[in-house]
Amino acid sequence: MRHFLSTLDFSRAEIEALLAAARAFKAGPHAQTLAGKSIALVFFNPSLRTRTSFELGMHQLGGKAIVLEPGKGAWPIEFDDGVVMDGEPEEHVREVARVLSRYVDAIAVRAFPKFQRWEVDREDRVIQSFARHATVPVINMETITHPCQELALALTLQEKLGSLAGKKMCLTWTYHPKPLNTAVANSALIIAAKLGMDVTLLCPTPEYVLDRRYMDAAAEYTKAAGRTLTVTHDIEAGYRGADIVYAKSWGALPYFGRWDDEKPVREASRRFMVDAAKMALTPNALFSHCLPVRRNVKVTDEVLDSPRAIHIDEAENRLHVQKALMDALLRGVL
């Protein structure tokens, strides 16, 4: 039994096989391979696409998804071991994961970081606890990475660009009034590198470079494929030659827990918003962004409404890749 917590745990061949399966699911009618199966979708944070695509995908495969929201409709949960539980949480993940494992065939979890201490958040304790105690596969619906978004991004890029080998991704930080999760940035970085792209990380200052775990993995992947991983703070250099501009905002790791100190740096970097002038620096690059996206803050209307924007396709592909993923995981062929 395998969990799907991070694509770091999966080979390039395994990822390519999932993408091929997703293409087959997308192509047309398919068997209800998961009839009689079920999945619990555990949301600690809001969701539109993830919830819809998982719930609908499982239904289309013949199975049943149950949506749970701990702390809202369901009890708050403790994740630390050995603790005296005299605070808010009414139950421990040891019970939750084991009980759900008795009911369902897989558990999917969305759990964003706490944004207080990155050294704690980077341990990804919530989903790691589920994985440790569950006796069924656990799927990451976004924690400190977002591997389902990676698959959707990769499928969409392959549809638009063909082979990704040697294509250039400009992964650009963009402005947002709040410090956001690094998950999608980490994910875009590692999946692009794994699939043989030249990757440029464009961000305002060295403080916005991503966690070493993902930077190192990307360096290793690009090196193995004979490609390059570049970090730049120069907008023109970042966009130059890009086949795909992938935008995301995130909070700088050194500022976790003292966000007031990050505010001036962030506010001074509003110029990173993706607009038509920057896109014109590229040889007609595609543009994408995971969703949600704030218009005219992260990206201008002009870019989002242009024919080169593929964010809606990427969102659609969440459905197809997750069907491939659930099918493979629950039938034990991954």
Q: Which residues bind a second copy (CB under 8 A)?
A: 36, 38, 40, 43, 46-49, 51-53, 55-56, 59-60, 64, 66-70, 72-75, 78, 81-86, 89-92, 94-96, 98-100, 102-104, 177, 291-297, 301, 304-305, 311-312, 315-316, 319
| Residue of 53, 50, 39, 58 lying closest to 112 (CA atoms) | 50
The two three-digit tokens of residue 6, written as one number? 């991070």
Taking the least distance from each CB to a second copy, the nearer of 225 and 291 is 291
Q: Rounded to the nearest whole angstrom, what is the least distance from the CB of residue 152 to a second copy in the complex?
A: 11
Taking the least distance from each CB to a second copy, the nearer of 111 and 193 is 111
**Letter for the amino acid at 36?**
G
Q: Rounded to the nearest whole angstrom, what is the least distance from the CB of residue 287 to a second copy in the complex?
A: 13
The H or E element containing residue 107 is: strand 106-110
Q: In what order do the strands lie in the sheet with 38-43?
A: 64-68, 38-43, 106-110, 138-140
| Residue of 172, 222, 168, 166 lying closest to 194 (CA atoms) | 222
Consult the annotation and say whether 203 binds a ligand: no
Reading phi first (left if > 0) and then psi (alpha if -120 to 50, else beta), residue 42 is in beta
Residue with tokens 């595609």: 286
Taking the least distance from each CB to a second copy, the nearer of 13 and 84 is 84
Q: Rounded to the nearest whole angstrom, what is the least distance from the CB of residue 164 to a second copy in the complex?
A: 22
The H or E element containing residue 23 is: helix 12-27
Consult the annotation and say whether 49 binds a ligand: yes
> What is d(CA 255, CA 76) in angstroms, rounded to the nearest whole number?
28
Taking the least distance from each CB to a second copy, the nearer of 91 and 220 is 91
Q: Rounded to the nearest whole angstrom, what is the least distance from the CB of residue 282 to a second copy in the complex?
A: 22
The two three-digit tokens of residue 47, written as one number? 């969701």
Consult the annotation and say whether 170 binds a ligand: no
> What is d(CA 318, CA 5) in angstroms, rounded to the nearest whole number?
16
End-to-end Cα separation, the chain, in angstroms: 9
Q: How far is CA 179 from CA 67, 84, 217, 264, in A?
A: 27, 32, 24, 12
Taking the least distance from each CB to a second copy, the nearer of 235 and 297 is 297
Q: Rounded to the nearest whole angstrom, what is the least distance from the CB of residue 290 to a second copy in the complex?
A: 11
Consult the annotation and say whether 101 binds a ligand: no
Q: Rounded to the nearest whole angstrom, what is the least distance from the CB of residue 292 to a second copy in the complex?
A: 3
Consult the annotation and say whether 146 binds a ligand: yes
Consult the annotation and say whether 228 binds a ligand: no
User: 48: Cβ–Cβ under 8 A, 6 or more apart, which residues?
Assistant: 291, 292
Taking the least distance from each CB to a second copy, the nearer of 13 and 87 is 87
The two three-digit tokens of residue 129, written as one number? 């606890």
Taking the least distance from each CB to a second copy, the nearer of 60 and 228 is 60
> What is d(CA 94, CA 86) in angstroms, rounded to the nearest whole number?
16
The two three-digit tokens of residue 162, written as one number? 């063909």
Consult the annotation and say whether 72 binds a ligand: no
Q: Rounded to the nearest whole angstrom, what is the least distance from the CB of residue 56 to a second copy in the complex?
A: 6
Consult the annotation and say whether 69 binds a ligand: no
Q: Which residues make up each annotated binding site for N(2)-acetyl-L-ornithine? A: 142, 248, 291
Q: Which residues make up each annotated binding site for carbamoyl phosphate? A: 47-50, 75, 110, 146-149, 290-291, 318
Q: Which residues make up each annotated binding site? A: 47-50, 75, 110, 142, 146-149, 248, 290-291, 318
